[in-house]
Amino acid sequence: MELWEINQRSLKFMQFAPLHIWLHSINEPLLISGPCGAESLDQLLKTAKGLNDLNKVSLFRAGVWKPRTRPNAFEGKGEEALKWLAEVKKQFGFKITVEVANAQHTELALKYGIDVLWIGARTTVNPFSVQEIADVIKGVDIPVMIKNPIHADLQLWIGAIERIYNSGTNKIAAIHRGFYYYGKTKYRNKPMWQLPIELKTHYPDLPIICDPSHISGKRELIPFIAQKALDLGMNGLMIESHYDPSIALSDAEQQPTPLQLNELLSKLVLRKQKTGDTIALDKLQQFRNMIDEIDDELINVIKKRTQVIEQIGTYKKEHNITIFQLERWQEILRTRAQWAEKLGLSRLHIERLCQLLHDESIKIQNDVMNE
């Protein structure tokens, strides 16, 4: 079992409004775009013009307060930029979203008629800040998008959603922007798709938007991540863009121009949740029948393995031998990974499976020994 799995019974019941209700847009998947940061009125208008020409963007984003990991980086233009965004709204009719990280940001965003708020990854981690924001929007019913916390803590993500929900709005979306990872990865933030999938399992009607920009950190990787998000049935994409990324004051490497954005969007394949084609459905059903049979076999094999483990437990008890035998465990991991590789299976996948089987084996032997 993965560490982040949550007991369904401990969760609050919540029901969410569909995206089109609060965006008055029928585009699904929904596209949110705009620069990482609002830098100047000129930058915003040029970027908005480019995006408006595409006719695909439902919500214009720009950070006016930039939460930077280290000081002395571009920290946003604050209130002044909210005035520029009002101009973008006036000239192009875009609905606007900005990031808020505290009560003061939220009050200002409301004052300047921002349509949708978003809570950034560095804020979702802090229940005090999220609660501050929730308190300001009490009774306002403004939509809020909540990015996942920087680290892979699903409880914290759900907790932030609950705080906003408790303020009286059900116009909420989650944004999946990947997770900080200490180690080698080709991503700026590791996607760990299992987390948004688990979130969706708990809250099927919660819209989830993927942010391939902050997952990838590089323009070139955006299409691959965006496609995967669509294939997983996510409801939208938030992709940063800048009319001239080479002069962007933040996240320059991950922003395409509106034209580049259009090109990458045109290559994405939109797959349906279901097909109406009866031949395809028949074929799919045949495959599913095959999987059912294989899983049945698999469970029977696991049952057989369990019976042998019980005998091993009894044997170890009679001969006073410890349950865990390091050498045997290392041998299992090594050999199974080799067998898997020979068959073209992922080594990591089989190692994880062995880990699960081994955990259960220890538990069973423990039960037998202490009967």
Question: Which chain residues interact with Mn ion by CB under 5 A?
Answer: 36, 251
As a whole number of Å, the end-to-end CA separation of the chain is 25
Binding of ligand PEP by 149 (CB under 6 A): no
Question: Smallest gap, in angstroms, from Cβ of residue 25 to Mn ion?
Answer: 23
Q: How far is CA 103 from CA 161, 230, 313, 354, in A?
A: 17, 34, 59, 48
**CA torsion sign, 323 to 327 to 333 to 339?**
negative
214 binds ligand PEP (CB under 6 A): yes
29 vs 313 by CB, closer to ligand PEP: 29
Radius of gyration of the chain (CA): 25
3-class DSSP state for residue 39?
Answer: coil
Q: Does 176 bind ligand PEP (CB under 6 A)?
A: no
Candidates 177, 188, 200, 242: give the one binding ligand PEP (CB under 6 A): 177
Q: Strand, coil or helix: what is 149?
A: coil
Binding partner of 172, given Mn ion, ligand PEP, none, CB within 5-8 angstroms per partner class = none
Which residues does 322 contact at the CB level (< 8 Å), separation at least 6?
A: 316
CB of 167 to ligand PEP, least distance (A): 20
Shortest CB 345 distance to ligand PEP, Å:
34
Scanning 45-53, 115-123, 313-321, 325-333 for contacts with ligand PEP by CB under 6 A, the matching segment is: 115-123
Binding piece for ligand PEP, criterion CB under 6 A, among 23-31, 102-110, 120-128, 338-346:
120-128
For residue 173, report the phi and psi dihedrals to the nearest 5 degrees: -135, 150
Helix axes 79-92, 103-111, angle to 10 degrees: 30
Q: Find all residues with CB under 8 Å of 95, minimum gap 6, and list them.
A: 23, 58, 59, 60, 89, 115, 116
Q: Which of 271, 250, 235, 154 is nearest to 202 (CA)?
A: 154
- Binds ligand PEP (CB under 6 A): choice among 36, 88, 96, 337: 36
Q: Does 120 bind ligand PEP (CB under 6 A)?
A: yes
Which single residue brings its beta carbon nearest to ligand PEP? Answer: 120
Residue placing its CB nearer to ligand PEP in the complex, 33 or 365: 33
CB of 213 to Mn ion, least distance (A): 6
- Which of Mn ion, ligand PEP, none has residue 132 at its interface (CB below 5 to 8 Å by kind)? none
Binding site for ligand PEP (CB under 6 A): 36, 63, 67, 120-122, 147, 177, 214
